[in-house]
Amino acid sequence: MEIPSRIRRTAAAIGLCAVLVAVPAVPAVAATEPAAPKTPQPPAVPTEQVVTTEQVMSHLRALQSIADRNGGNRAHGSKGFRQSLMYVKGVLDKAGFRTSLRPFTHNGALGYNLVADWPGGDPDHVVLVGAHLDSVEAGPGMSDNGSGSAAVLATAVAMSRAGVAPKRHLRFAWWGAEEQGLIGSEDYVRKLSAAQRRKIDVYLNFDMTGTRNVQQWLVVHDEPGATDTFEAYFAAKGLPTFDVGIGGSDHQSFGDAGIPVSGFSTGLGDCYHAACDRIDNVDPAIETISANAVLGVTRQLVAH
């Protein structure tokens, strides 16, 4: 998760991060006014586990190994990031996705977004699911955001394995240079035409999904169909949630462009933006719950 330096993001980012750091002490507050949904979504979702702990943690182990071989990080412009990108792309290609790399330049370094489309579904109604793949230079970024990247990747593989035939078009993305200021996702949104933006019914963002000692799942409260579905999923499992607004991660790039957003985080936790943000900083049980929430809600949203 990026803590932006640019003035136009500061208030939103600080507000979200304050919630992330101090969740147990936050009283219940009124949620921000949600945007009107493009299409109504039923909140009931299946709650059975489909992604196993081994499946999602295997992706985290691969990302940790890449960081270990490349100076301890997977930052924008680094060999570690490029190898992370090719690892994810290889898994998706094998699973039958149509993948594409979207290059951009920031601070003199070449960066990439990875976009993966699943065949079928109405191209005029897209559900886009994403996470940032880069780390800070200080560490390998296993919680921030190897965890979100792994949860989204495990979801994509599970959808492929199930041979899903979605009614809405299903697209996944892994963003570059989020830690530099949401650069990759902003580049992606900026290059969309107005017509292409209107085709995205909702963008779901996942930034830090396996935090140890998690108190609440922090659900981005914007697109009510997706938000209600996430909250119904967690409620069915007896897990507490807390509504947060838009800011501090890649969903802001979409929200600023008028695209409905949702998603969740499990909070900052320990070792935030530090060298100790290694794989043992991720709770496998929490990561498994999160991966199945991503899968369950995504599956529900593309089915209607």
**Active-site residue set:** 178
Mapped onto helix, strand or coil, the DSSP state of residue 106 is strand
CA angle 29, 44, 237 (to 5 degrees): 65
CA 198 to CA 213: how far, in whole Å?
39
Strands annotated E in 87-191: 98-106, 109-117, 122-132, 168-175
Q: Please give the structure tokens belonging to residue 261.
A: 């957003």
Q: Please give the structure tokens belonging to residue 217.
A: 């799942």
Beta carbons within 10 angstroms of residue 64's beta carbon: 20
CB neighbour list of residue 213: distance below 8 Å, 6 or more residues apart:
269, 283
Q: Distance of CA 84 to CAs 60, 149, 205, 244, 300, Å?
A: 10, 10, 19, 29, 29
Q: Please give the structure tokens belonging to residue 13.
A: 């980012």
Tokens 């496998």 identify what position?
Answer: 284
